[in-house]
Amino acid sequence: MDARLNPTATVIGPKAIKHLVSADHALAASTVPNATRELMKMRASQINGCGACLDMHVKEALLAGEDPLRVNLVSTWRETTVFTEAERAALELTEQGSRLADGGRVTDEAWAEAARHYDEEELTALVSVVAIINAFNRVNVMLGIRGGDYEPGHLG
């Protein structure tokens, strides 16, 4: 299936995408580890069925030195022993924040667990990661942009 349209071939597309990318790049200044942010992006992309984002973030995580086992187990993080307590809290926040449209919410328990591991600046970054990747997921899924041909390192 071909994509429904190429947003970069429009006038408004590159402008809007540039701001999403800039928002994501701002999070690199956070003390939340890059590995945690990439795991969160992978998990949200799995939930939202975004092959393009999953392709990108798996390859970026591997390029950054992430353990392939952890990459392969992120969809079943609850049933594994390879993630830290802090990463597990971030992944739970990611799942709950990505499923708001399903009638869910971020529970007080999930928030308290995340707050046990992250300070307010880091919690802000975690919430922002979830919001930004969900926005990218929705753009790609709505437009029918598929994964598989992302070149690692292209993010810059």
- The Cα 108–Cα 114 span in angstroms is 10
- Domain annotation covers residue 14: no
- Domain annotation covers residue 29: no
- Domain annotation covers residue 96: yes
> Most distant CA pair in the chain: distance in Å?
47
Domain interval for residue 43: 34-143
pLDDT, average across residues 65-77? 97
pLDDT in tens, 8-29: 788 888 888 899 999 999 999 9
Choice between 33 and 12, residue whose per-residue pLDDT is larger: 33
- Domain annotation covers residue 20: no
pLDDT at 36 (0 to 100):
97
Question: Does residue 137 contact residue 48 with C-beta atoms inside 8 Å?
Answer: yes
Q: Which two tokens stand for residue 97?
A: 């924040």
- Domain annotation covers residue 4: no
- The Cα 72–Cα 77 span in angstroms is 10
pLDDT, average across residues 134-155? 91
Which of 122, 141, 148 is closest to 40 using CA atoms? 122
- Domain annotation covers residue 123: yes
State the residue for tokens 């071909």: 2
Split into its structural domains, the chain has a count of 1
CATH classification of the domain holding 85:
1.20.1290.10
